[in-house]
Structure 1
Protein backbone atom coordinates (compact mmCIF):
# COMPACT_ATOMS: atom_id res chain seq x y z
CA UNK A 1 0.00 0.00 0.00
CA UNK A 2 1.32 3.43 -0.74
CA UNK A 3 2.47 5.70 2.06
CA UNK A 4 -0.27 8.21 1.29
CA UNK A 5 -2.85 5.83 2.75
CA UNK A 6 -1.28 5.89 6.23
CA UNK A 7 -2.33 2.27 6.65
CA UNK A 8 0.10 -0.62 6.53
CA UNK A 9 -1.32 -3.75 4.96
CA UNK A 10 0.15 -6.92 6.43
CA UNK A 11 -0.58 -10.11 4.56
CA UNK A 12 0.53 -13.11 6.59
CA UNK A 13 -2.38 -15.40 5.76
CA UNK A 14 0.04 -17.74 3.98
CA UNK A 15 1.87 -18.30 7.29
CA UNK A 16 -1.39 -19.05 9.07
CA UNK A 17 -2.49 -21.35 6.23
CA UNK A 18 0.77 -23.31 6.46
CA UNK A 19 0.35 -23.74 10.22
CA UNK A 20 -3.24 -24.92 9.76
CA UNK A 21 -2.22 -27.38 7.04
CA UNK A 22 0.44 -28.78 9.40
CA UNK A 23 -2.19 -29.15 12.13
CA UNK A 24 -4.51 -30.79 9.60
CA UNK A 25 -1.83 -33.36 8.75
CA UNK A 26 -1.74 -34.33 12.43
CA UNK A 27 -5.48 -33.96 13.11
CA UNK A 28 -7.71 -36.52 14.72
CA UNK A 29 -11.00 -37.47 13.10
CA UNK A 30 -12.77 -35.20 15.59
CA UNK A 31 -10.72 -32.07 14.87
CA UNK A 32 -10.31 -32.59 11.11
CA UNK A 33 -13.63 -30.97 9.99
CA UNK A 34 -12.96 -27.78 11.95
CA UNK A 35 -9.41 -27.53 10.70
CA UNK A 36 -10.52 -28.15 7.11
CA UNK A 37 -12.99 -25.31 7.47
CA UNK A 38 -10.31 -23.05 8.95
CA UNK A 39 -7.91 -23.84 6.09
CA UNK A 40 -10.60 -23.00 3.54
CA UNK A 41 -11.33 -19.68 5.26
CA UNK A 42 -7.68 -18.67 5.43
CA UNK A 43 -7.06 -19.69 1.84
CA UNK A 44 -10.00 -17.59 0.71
CA UNK A 45 -8.42 -14.55 2.38
CA UNK A 46 -5.08 -15.16 0.68
CA UNK A 47 -6.87 -14.87 -2.66
CA UNK A 48 -8.20 -11.40 -1.83
CA UNK A 49 -6.54 -8.44 -3.53
CA UNK A 50 -5.03 -5.62 -1.50
CA UNK A 51 -7.94 -3.41 -2.57
CA UNK A 52 -10.41 -6.00 -1.27
CA UNK A 53 -8.53 -6.28 2.03
CA UNK A 54 -8.49 -2.48 2.44
CA UNK A 55 -12.21 -2.33 1.58
CA UNK A 56 -12.98 -4.97 4.19
CA UNK A 57 -10.90 -3.05 6.74
CA UNK A 58 -12.82 0.15 6.01
CA UNK A 59 -16.20 -1.54 6.39
CA UNK A 60 -15.01 -3.15 9.63
CA UNK A 61 -13.81 0.17 11.08
CA UNK A 62 -17.07 1.87 10.08
CA UNK A 63 -19.09 -0.91 11.69
CA UNK A 64 -17.01 -0.55 14.87
CA UNK A 65 -18.12 3.09 15.18
CA UNK A 66 -21.74 2.26 14.33
CA UNK A 67 -21.79 3.73 10.83
CA UNK A 68 -24.35 1.97 8.65
CA UNK A 69 -25.04 4.66 6.08
CA UNK A 70 -24.09 5.08 2.45
CA UNK A 71 -20.42 4.32 1.82
CA UNK A 72 -20.32 6.93 -0.95
CA UNK A 73 -21.37 9.72 1.41
CA UNK A 74 -19.28 12.40 3.05
CA UNK A 75 -20.58 11.02 6.35
CA UNK A 76 -18.75 7.75 5.64
CA UNK A 77 -15.46 9.59 5.22
CA UNK A 78 -16.11 11.58 8.39
CA UNK A 79 -16.92 8.38 10.31
CA UNK A 80 -13.79 6.67 8.99
CA UNK A 81 -11.62 9.59 10.04
CA UNK A 82 -13.34 9.53 13.42
CA UNK A 83 -12.55 5.83 13.76
CA UNK A 84 -8.95 6.41 12.62
CA UNK A 85 -8.00 9.98 13.60
CA UNK A 86 -4.56 9.72 11.97
CA UNK A 87 -6.00 9.33 8.47
CA UNK A 88 -5.66 12.28 6.15
CA UNK A 89 -8.67 13.31 4.13
CA UNK A 90 -7.03 11.97 0.96
CA UNK A 91 -6.26 8.61 2.59
CA UNK A 92 -9.81 8.31 3.94
CA UNK A 93 -11.28 9.04 0.50
CA UNK A 94 -9.02 6.49 -1.19
CA UNK A 95 -9.75 3.84 1.41
CA UNK A 96 -13.48 4.52 1.20
CA UNK A 97 -13.21 4.17 -2.59
CA UNK A 98 -11.69 0.70 -2.08
CA UNK A 99 -14.69 -0.27 0.05
CA UNK A 100 -17.12 1.07 -2.57
CA UNK A 101 -15.28 -0.75 -5.37
CA UNK A 102 -15.37 -4.10 -3.58
CA UNK A 103 -18.63 -4.57 -1.69
CA UNK A 104 -18.90 -7.70 0.42
Structure 2
Protein backbone atom coordinates (compact mmCIF):
# COMPACT_ATOMS: atom_id res chain seq x y z
CA UNK A 1 0.00 0.00 0.00
CA UNK A 2 1.28 3.46 -0.83
CA UNK A 3 0.32 7.05 -0.16
CA UNK A 4 1.33 10.47 -1.39
CA UNK A 5 3.83 12.39 0.75
CA UNK A 6 4.29 16.02 1.59
CA UNK A 7 7.42 17.38 -0.09
CA UNK A 8 9.29 17.71 3.21
CA UNK A 9 9.01 13.97 3.81
CA UNK A 10 10.40 12.89 0.43
CA UNK A 11 14.13 12.74 1.04
CA UNK A 12 13.93 11.19 4.47
CA UNK A 13 12.02 8.11 3.34
CA UNK A 14 14.26 7.33 0.42
CA UNK A 15 17.52 8.99 1.40
CA UNK A 16 17.66 11.00 -1.81
CA UNK A 17 18.04 14.49 -0.39
CA UNK A 18 15.59 17.30 0.26
CA UNK A 19 15.18 18.39 -3.36
CA UNK A 20 13.94 15.03 -4.58
CA UNK A 21 10.22 14.99 -5.14
CA UNK A 22 9.60 11.33 -4.52
CA UNK A 23 5.91 10.79 -3.87
CA UNK A 24 5.76 7.15 -2.82
CA UNK A 25 5.89 5.81 0.70
CA UNK A 26 5.65 2.17 1.60
CA UNK A 27 3.02 1.55 4.23
CA UNK A 28 2.91 -1.76 5.97
CA UNK A 29 -0.22 -3.03 7.61
CA UNK A 30 1.08 -6.57 7.97
CA UNK A 31 1.41 -6.24 11.74
CA UNK A 32 -2.24 -5.18 12.09
CA UNK A 33 -3.39 -7.93 9.73
CA UNK A 34 -1.22 -10.50 11.53
CA UNK A 35 -2.75 -9.51 14.88
CA UNK A 36 -6.23 -10.04 13.43
CA UNK A 37 -5.31 -13.47 12.08
CA UNK A 38 -3.69 -14.44 15.40
CA UNK A 39 -6.85 -13.37 17.21
CA UNK A 40 -8.96 -15.44 14.83
CA UNK A 41 -6.56 -18.36 15.27
CA UNK A 42 -6.97 -18.21 19.04
CA UNK A 43 -10.73 -18.64 18.63
CA UNK A 44 -10.65 -21.03 15.66
CA UNK A 45 -12.25 -24.43 15.56
CA UNK A 46 -9.91 -27.27 14.51
CA UNK A 47 -11.07 -27.20 10.87
CA UNK A 48 -10.20 -23.50 10.53
CA UNK A 49 -6.75 -23.72 12.13
CA UNK A 50 -4.69 -24.99 9.15
CA UNK A 51 -5.91 -22.20 6.88
CA UNK A 52 -5.38 -19.53 9.50
CA UNK A 53 -1.92 -20.87 10.32
CA UNK A 54 -1.02 -20.74 6.63
CA UNK A 55 -2.39 -17.18 6.40
CA UNK A 56 -0.32 -16.15 9.43
CA UNK A 57 2.83 -17.56 7.83
CA UNK A 58 2.15 -15.71 4.56
CA UNK A 59 1.60 -12.44 6.43
CA UNK A 60 4.84 -12.89 8.35
CA UNK A 61 6.70 -13.48 5.09
CA UNK A 62 5.10 -10.38 3.50
CA UNK A 63 6.24 -8.31 6.47
CA UNK A 64 9.89 -9.15 5.76
CA UNK A 65 9.89 -7.96 2.12
CA UNK A 66 12.29 -5.00 1.81
CA UNK A 67 10.83 -1.58 0.99
CA UNK A 68 12.93 -1.43 -2.19
CA UNK A 69 11.21 -4.58 -3.45
CA UNK A 70 7.79 -3.10 -2.72
CA UNK A 71 8.65 0.09 -4.58
CA UNK A 72 9.96 -1.93 -7.54
CA UNK A 73 6.77 -3.99 -7.65
CA UNK A 74 4.76 -0.77 -7.50
CA UNK A 75 6.62 0.59 -10.53
CA UNK A 76 6.21 -2.66 -12.47
CA UNK A 77 2.48 -2.71 -11.66
CA UNK A 78 2.02 0.89 -12.86
CA UNK A 79 3.94 0.16 -16.06
CA UNK A 80 1.99 -3.05 -16.71
CA UNK A 81 -1.36 -1.28 -16.19
CA UNK A 82 -0.28 1.35 -18.69
CA UNK A 83 0.64 -1.35 -21.22
CA UNK A 84 4.42 -0.81 -21.08
CA UNK A 85 6.28 -4.03 -21.85
CA UNK A 86 9.88 -2.85 -22.28
CA UNK A 87 12.67 -2.29 -19.77
CA UNK A 88 11.63 -0.54 -16.57
CA UNK A 89 14.45 2.01 -16.88
CA UNK A 90 13.86 3.05 -20.50
CA UNK A 91 12.90 6.59 -21.46
CA UNK A 92 9.49 5.28 -22.50
CA UNK A 93 9.03 3.61 -19.11
CA UNK A 94 9.88 6.82 -17.29
CA UNK A 95 7.44 8.75 -19.47
CA UNK A 96 4.76 6.11 -18.88
CA UNK A 97 5.34 6.12 -15.13
CA UNK A 98 5.03 9.90 -14.98
CA UNK A 99 1.82 9.78 -16.99
CA UNK A 100 0.44 7.09 -14.66
CA UNK A 101 1.47 9.12 -11.60
CA UNK A 102 1.26 12.81 -12.61
CA UNK A 103 2.71 14.13 -9.33
CA UNK A 104 5.93 12.16 -9.75
CA UNK A 105 8.94 14.31 -10.61
CA UNK A 106 11.31 13.37 -13.39
CA UNK A 107 14.10 12.73 -10.91
CA UNK A 108 11.92 10.48 -8.76
CA UNK A 109 10.62 8.59 -11.80
CA UNK A 110 14.17 8.01 -13.05
CA UNK A 111 15.30 6.71 -9.65
CA UNK A 112 12.27 4.47 -9.22
CA UNK A 113 12.71 3.15 -12.76
CA UNK A 114 16.37 2.33 -12.15
CA UNK A 115 15.50 0.56 -8.92
CA UNK A 116 12.69 -1.35 -10.65
CA UNK A 117 15.02 -2.44 -13.45
CA UNK A 118 17.46 -3.83 -10.87
CA UNK A 119 14.70 -5.70 -9.03
CA UNK A 120 14.84 -9.48 -9.27
CA UNK A 121 11.89 -11.24 -7.60
Band of TM-score, shorter chain? 0.7 to 0.9
How far does residue 87 in structure 1 lie from its aligned partner after superposition? 0.4
Aligned to 2:118: 101
Point out which structure has higher relative CO (alpha carbons under 8 A, 6+ apart). 1
Unaligned runs of 5+ in 1: none
1:1-104 aligned at under 5 Å gives the runs 1-2=13-14, 4-104=21-121
Unaligned runs of 5+ in 2: 1-12, 15-19
Question: Is the CA contact 1:55–1:102 (under 8 Å) kept in the aligned structure 2?
Answer: yes
| Equivalent position SS for 1:4 | coil
Q: Partners of 1:98 and 1:21 in 2: how far apart?
A: 34
Normalising by the residue count of structure 1, what TM-score does the alignment of the two structures yield? 0.84
Q: Residues 65-94 of structure 1, C-alpha deviation per residue, up to 9 Å, x if partnerless?
A: 222221121111111111111100111111
* Moved >6 Å (runs of 4+): none
**Count of matched residue pairs:** 104
Per residue, is there more helix in 1 or in 2? Answer: 1
**Residue range with higher mean Cα deviation, 54-63 or 34-43:** 34-43
Q: 1:71 to 1:14 in 2, by over 3 A?
A: same
Q: Partners of 2:97 and 2:115 in 1: how far apart?
A: 13
